[in-house]
């Protein structure tokens, strides 16, 4: 993942003596590394033990086209061309204030073994994105730790497929939503193996941003948010990812139309937020959404916002 900007480094040093906002951590073994066997094309009859649920559904081309068609009109322009917020100055001011408030929290997050600076392989980043869908990062980390205990690695795909969905469901139980997420992971692994003949998707590094997004959205259960996670955390591009915290806070602060969907909010902010601030602001918004009494879940107003108290001006 990209290095912290000079502004973020300065803000972090001023706020505390904590490490920089992100750092590289040692990754768990993955197929093809010395501590995991190289992946081979899995025969479906061999990969699904007796008693396991039926094989996952195949790639749904119509759904993939629908997802990309909804995304593609806004790759170069906002879906809200007459909505002028946030301005570059608003973004810079928010970055400065939120860095003072939360850089230590973000730095602590990146000290965790399951929050790496970057994810070097495309399929690995897809699986991490799936595990983090519709839940808190702490739940995703519990699920990853359980996968390490059960399979030796989060990314031991031969072992995961060979163990079957029922086993994976039990492994993911500690992180919640285990029925849905075990189905999602098995479906995606089936699609990847069928399309790529194994687990190596790293040819996507050679794709343009548009090509990579189209390929990612062609997989079942991968939406624009998960695709943006892969683009940023693995492919080293510069997307702005909108999660629950970001969506809520940008609504409270007037950075998006009140009725904007999460998908259109992401398209809008992708255009409006300067590229060098996107990564930091994403994680700073998450930290702010977890701690600010005015901006936590269920909030209807930014009255009492700690960022406002620290000097941020909200211009709705």
Q: Residue 203's domain is classified under what CATH number? A: 1.10.340.30
Q: pLDDT band at residue 60, thresholds of 50, 70 and 90? A: low
Q: Which domain holds residue 152?
A: 25-67+118-233
Residue 171 lies in a domain: yes
Residues 6+ apart with CB under 8 A from 236: 1, 2, 118
pLDDT of residue 80: 97
Q: Is the previous residue joined to 123 through a cis bond, with omega within 30 degrees of 0?
A: no
Residue 11 lies in a domain: no
pTM for the model: 0.75
147 is written with which tokens? Answer: 């996968």
Residue 160 lies in a domain: yes
Number of domains the chain contains: 1
Enter the DSSP assignment of 87: -
pLDDT of residue 300: 84
Specify the range with the lowest mean pLDDT, choosing from 10-14, 65-69, 71-75, 194-198: 10-14
Which one has a higher pLDDT value, 117 or 98?
Answer: 98
| Measured distance CA(90)–CA(96) in Å, rounded | 10
Hey, is 17 helix, strand or coil?
Answer: coil
Q: Per-residue pLDDT averaged across 188-198, rounded?
A: 95
């Amino acid at each position: 993942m990209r290095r912290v900007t000079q502004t973020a480094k300065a803000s972090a040093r001023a706020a505390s003596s904590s490490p920089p906002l992100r750092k590289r951590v040692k990754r768990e073994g993955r197929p093809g590394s010395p501590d995991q066997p190289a992946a081979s094309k899995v025969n479906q009859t061999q990969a699904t033990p007796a008693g396991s649920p039926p094989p996952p559904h195949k790639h749904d081309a119509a759904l993939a086209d629908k997802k990309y068609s909804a995304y593609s009109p806004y790759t170069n322009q906002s879906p809200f061309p007459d909505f002028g917020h946030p301005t570059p100055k608003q973004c810079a001011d928010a970055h400065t204030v939120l860095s003072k408030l939360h850089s230590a929290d973000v730095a602590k997050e990146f000290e965790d073994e399951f929050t790496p600076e970057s994810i070097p392989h495309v399929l690995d980043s897809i699986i991490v994105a799936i595990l983090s869908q519709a839940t808190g990062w702490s739940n995703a980390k519990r699920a990853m730790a359980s996968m390490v205990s059960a399979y030796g690695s989060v990314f031991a795909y031969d072992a995961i497929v060979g163990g079957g969905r029922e086993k994976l469901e039990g492994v993911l139980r500690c992180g919640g939503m285990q029925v849905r997420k075990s189905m999602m992971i098995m479906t995606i692994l089936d699609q990847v193996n069928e399309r790529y003949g194994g687990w190596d998707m790293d040819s996507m590094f050679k794709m343009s941003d548009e090509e990579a997004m189209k390929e990612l959205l062609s997989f079942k259960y991968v939406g624009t948010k998960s695709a943006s996670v892969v683009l940023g955390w693995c492919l080293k591009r510069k997307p702005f990812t909108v999660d629950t915290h970001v969506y809520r806070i940008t609504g409270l602060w007037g950075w998006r139309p009140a009725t904007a969907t999460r998908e259109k909010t992401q398209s809008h902010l992708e255009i409006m937020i300067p590229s060098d601030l996107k990564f930091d602001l994403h994680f700073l918004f998450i930290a702010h959404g977890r701690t600010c009494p005015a901006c936590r879940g269920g909030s209807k107003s930014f009255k009492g916002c700690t960022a406002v108290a620290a000097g941020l001006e909200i211009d709705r």
